Structure 1
Amino acid sequence: LSRRGNNVTLRIEQWFRAMGARIAADREAAERFRTEAPERLARSLPPELQKELDTFLSRYGCRSRHRTLAVKRWIEAPEEVVAILQSLVRHGPTGAPPTECRSRKAGQPRFNHSVPRMALKRFARLAGLFLDLREELRFLLDEALLRIRRDLLGLGRHFRLGDSILFLTFDEIERLKAGRLSHDETRRIAGERRELFYKPVEPCTFWVEGRPEYDLTIDGKVLLGIGTSPGRATGRAVIVADPSVAAIRQGDVIVARHTDPGWTPILSLVGGLVMEEGGLLNHCSIVARELGIPAVVGIHQATRLIPEGSRVTIDGGSGRLIIEAS
């Protein structure tokens, strides 16, 4: 993703890097990005930066931290984009992406193989092509979801329901429009679903070697998951629910329930990824492999078992995580 190919996720990541470098090179702008609240900064950017941000949001504003209708998109919450830029200015790399996978530098072995070199090149080229297409299709989905969200919010304003309408089914919306569903009942239904939406849920269970993945805990200090991106990393564990508000520093190990494409710009900061959900082919695993970031997924209740700020070591090959100190 960072070394080859041409897809929308890569272009977004490159924009964040370039903007981070530009802001960091301007002493006055860098000071503001280090000290001011993102909400205030988003309302009072210098004209040139505001123009850049507006152009970015017009192209990529359909992205967000989570692909669900209930979450605001970047174009609706530009302070989230500003907050990511602030993290990059404060702590992050602002130069060109690395040209070599960091896990290779960490000593990941190269394997001999009997597959013809030309065949491998062809497979690699096709894999890169389809990875690009996958990212473009995901972006088209983001654009469609933004249009749907806007239409639903328009109905919500019409019926004086606000964003509660996002928690109704299409059948319930039709009944509401026809006068067959009262406003009181509508608010009750939406309120119950909103509560469920924000309530933590148990991730899907993956079975490894005949056992559920959440049974693969060795003891309180060593956890086992599924290694999806090779390499080892040691760093401060940061529990992240929203990357735009998390205090992420260079080399931190992110611990989260899951990630979304909207998280990609911040991943260039981290030393490793730990997820409660996911597998070899989910977005965070693919991006981690392309960026050379060790990743372990499928650690049940990782956000609860790993103390915030503790020093951890992860091995993306074996899927092992060690809590070294709290």
Structure 2
Amino acid sequence: MKKWILVTMAMATMGLPLAAGAFQADVIAPPHGDFPVSVGGQLSFGLLNGEAKEHVYDYETVDGSRRQLSRLDWELKDVVMGGVQFSVRPIKRDVWDALTLNFGFWNALTEGSGEMDDYDWMDPYSTDWTHYSLSDVDVTEGYIFDLNVAWDALEWNDLTVRGFLGYKQNGWTWEDSGRYLLYPEYGYVPQDLGGENMINYEQEFRMPYLGASVDWTRGDFTVAGRLTYSPSVEATDWDEHVARSLHFKEEFEDGDMLGFGLDVRYAFSRGPLKNAFLSAAFDVQTIDLIVGDMEVYDASTGERGGDEDVAGIENEYWVLSLGGGYRF
């Protein structure tokens, strides 16, 4: 459903001319001028919000089908991100002038102010959760890495249409501080956890992708947007249950990613700021549920175990950002 919402947003904005998002590696290098290579660079800061989901399944049902055993919802809330982006047109020759190499990296500068909801369904004959706990969470690490090659496929009037082939990687790490739990053995009376660190969690996503974009330039203003898609997302997550010395590692593959970016830029064409530009952008990325395999390590006993198709992972975020850069 989330994917179709993004597609609808993208199609709706096709009524506007579209291509680059500030938290995606996009084409900011200008067309070639007097120099054999044209270059663009940008510094940007954004406020990121979103959510990650960690799933655990079992097959203890009458017909042996998969059921939800546990789900942890990890917030990405009000995380300040900052980073750089570089773009270069390396070849000033005939059709090769349309080729651009683009790189971007953004890092979490604050820990945010999110929460984590932990649900367990211990009764295989009921769809209602049996155990719940709430924690505050800090995003202790977070990054977005993007590298791609772009090709200017079509230029018509004020429009430029491009195609992208790229690789993107995201990583997020959380540390929780328990607030309270609701367990049946306590009659579902809230039990204070006193801020104890119960669970640490990390997600990493690796994804080759295809993309398409459109720029519309009128005078010194450019409205730009981009749609990206990957059917080949690979992911790994790590879950540490601190009090029980349990370590979980899950591996996932063949997931789907859909991303969308909308950017408005103003380029200074005269005066002391000539060749500089300012930008404002909105970017969205969603990775649908991927089911994968789990490994378990008990640090207190040294025992190891695991199973196939008993873990699940999801992630989505959106960023509002401001940036500035220079092109020559």
TM-score (norm 2): 0.24
Name the one with the larger helix percent: 1
Name the one with the larger strand percent: 2
Report which of the two structures shows the higher radius of gyration computed on alpha carbons: 2
